[in-house]
Amino acid sequence: MQLQHLINHETKRSLIDFINTLRIDYKTNIDKQRSLIKGKDFANEIIKIRFMKLRELNQYISKIVNDSDYKASKKIKNPYMFNKFVDKCVINKHSFYQYALHRKYLLNS
């Protein structure tokens, strides 16, 4: 018999609630502050990067580097022009790239 047939509905609901509380506990105070300032999507992406393995980080970094928006924005050297002409999504990609690169260096050492 499968597990879903052995437990009743209330037990399933309590297990799901318990799993959701565990997921919330992954967020530190800094993650909560980051979600207030930068947004929930940004904070969730940082959490996702934090739990990646080295191989996944390499794939993630290469995916960002091969993105055309990221390549075009890397050519802008003036910070004023960068903030004026680059979209917030691309700025977030730069932040994700930097965070992933630092995580990769941390896992290598």
Considering its fold, how many domains does the chain have in total?
Answer: 1
Positions of the chain with pLDDT under 70? 1-5, 20-26
Is the pTM of the predicted complex or chain greater than 0.85?
Answer: no
Contact 90, 100 (CB under 8 A): no
pLDDT confidence of residue 49: 92
Rounded Cα–Cα distance for residues 66 and 76 (Å)? 17
pLDDT confidence of residue 72: 92
Tell the residue number behind the tokens 């917030």, with chain if given. 88
pLDDT confidence of residue 26: 63
Give the domain extent around 76.
3-108
